[in-house]
Amino acid sequence: MVTSPHYLATQAGVDILRKGGTALDAAVAVAAVLAVVYPQMCSIGGDNFWLAHEAATGALHGINACGRSGENVTRDFFAQKGLSSIPLRGPLAACTVPGVVSGWDAAHTLSRSWGSPLALGDLLQEAISLAAEGFAVTPSLAHWLHEDCKPDPTGYRQLQRFPGFAHTFLPTGSPPQTGAVLRLPDLAATLGLIAREGARVFYEGELADRLTRWLSDNGGLLTARDFAAHQAETVTPLRVRYRGLECCNLPPNTQGLASLSILNILEHLNIQGMGEGSAAYLHAIVEATKLAFADRDAYVTDPDFADIPVDYLLSPEHGRELASRIDPARALNPTAPLEPKGDTCWFGVVDAQGNAVSAIQSIFHDFGAGLVAGDTGILLQNRGSFFSLDPAHINRLEPRKRTMHTLNPPMLRKDGKPWLVYGTMGGEGQPQTQAAIVTRMVDFGLSPHDAVAAPRWLYGRSWGLPVNNLRLEGRFSPQLAEALTKQGHSVERIADFSDLMGHAGAILCDQDTGVLFGATDPRSDGLAAGY
């Protein structure tokens, strides 16, 4: 079974499984196609993270493939330019090394140890073909291209002002409509080069030379040494218990700690007794989110630069103490304003042997930095703009540092085997939607489809608002919104199936029958498919 937010990516993953590839092989193929057909959410100029269950041994593997800031990326540099924050677009936003290709390589290397017969180049062929021959623009891509080409005096949108972006995504001079065929020949050539010469060409070979030369010529800060020093890293996954299940995620610098902390808090509340979709249920998860995010914002950054008390933060005792702070009748004071953006692709794969992969790939904001580097076709991320320039901030910018990352790929295991492979895009919304899926399936017995498609909420900040509010999809009743307002929540009702809620997915592994149940999000252009 494969699930992803784009139907072409899912089909590519299924094709690899039919060719004898492992779940990791299929996930790499999915990731490569997403980097072509879903550029508003991810690209090979971004980062990715992987959580993989190995059926033969029961081992759980974590891969952190996010890039560090450059050696010349300092707070003093931005201070000398009179900037109080890192720009969201342009060359200075692209100040961390792209990790995606190293993640593909690390995942494929692990897959070969599982017995995969396929080369990395085999896994990239569908992505190369789609980039060269073209693909139909989906509603999501059309929407974001039109949105990001609107006039904007702040400089955040109007991405067509960047020549590489206009050349790549606006071949006729205006944003393509849904159904138009978009070809990306420069990206096809770049992917072909990686397929022929291997992943390191991106970091130490011809591609690295072209990328760093272009960045240098256009005011960027990353150097050839920054690219050459990059490697994806193996990490030890984190675990907590929820209703007897083992909940797994990745450690800092990801916010996997926050996702697990929410479940660690909810473990000590009677969620089932509240009723699915009730005001009490939403209130409990929103309050748990606030508490988990307060811990995250106090501690989570690159662990090479800070001592993070992970064991304490995820201990049952701490979860119980945080749960005791939740007043069922009244909302806690709002947390600091939460970053409103985070455009990402989550995807999951389970193969016939029982190997399972939860993976997530991102460019941060929609279309990242807005830059396509020269003739490489590589759209560069703006993940580095998440660093703080405040010297007292836990996530303060320093050279060769990984920023706190909203990306986190979760998995639930039962008796040492995958039970639920699930996840979502959505920045700050990721831990919240993950909690919704888990509680709806574990506490209330919903199917993967119903858990993913059900009305969702998002606690956080909208663009232009200085404070957090609680957004509810329109399918929630006015009475529920009124009840939450009376509890002290600032409630805003939005569209029924809003893109703001992220693009989620799930695969349930029925351990009794061996049947896989897959779901994709109706808010996306996705597909869940298996055989």
444 within 8 A of 274, measured Cβ to Cβ: no
CB 286 within 8 A of CB 331: yes
Task: Please report, for residues 76, 254, 427, 463, the alpha-carbon distance to residue 87 in angstroms, rounded to integers and kept in the order given.
Answer: 15, 22, 18, 15
The CA-atom distances, in angstroms, between 233 and each of 154, 253, 407 are 37, 12, 15
Q: Which residue has the tokens 């029924």?
A: 496
Residue 236: is it exposed, middle or buried by C-beta count within 10 angstroms (0-12/13-18/19+)?
exposed
How far does Cα 529 stand from its chain's mean position?
A: 21
In the three-class reduction of DSSP (H, G, I as helix; E, B as strand; rest coil), residue 247 is classed as strand
Q: How many CB atoms lie within 10 A of CB 493?
A: 16
C-alpha–C-alpha distance, residues 40 and 363, integer Å: 8
Q: Is 82 helix (H, G, I), strand (E, B) or coil?
A: coil
Q: How far is CA 315 from CA 251, 263, 318, 319, 398, in A?
A: 14, 11, 5, 6, 30
Is there a catalytic annotation at residue 406?
no
Kindly state the tokens that stand for 257. 């700690």
Which has the closest alpha carbon to 409: 103, 37, 14? 103
Distance in angstroms (rounded) separating the CA atoms of residues 234 and 62: 6
Other C-beta atoms lying within 10 Å of the C-beta of residue 400: 16
Q: Which two tokens stand for residue 458?
A: 């998002």
Cα atoms in the 13 Å half-sphere on the side-chain side of 480: 22
Do the beta carbons of residue 368 and residue 35 sit within 8 Å? no
In degrees rounded to 5, what are phi and psi of residue 361? -140, 140
Number of C-beta neighbours around residue 513 at 10 A = 7
Q: Of all helices (H) and strands (E), which one includes residue 14?
A: helix 7-18
Distance between CA 434 and CA 358 in Å, rounded?
Answer: 13
289, 335, 344, 433: the active-site residue = 344
Tokens of 447: 């199917």
Rounded to a whole number of angstroms, the CA Rg of the chain reads 22
For the annotated catalytic residues, the residue numbers are 344
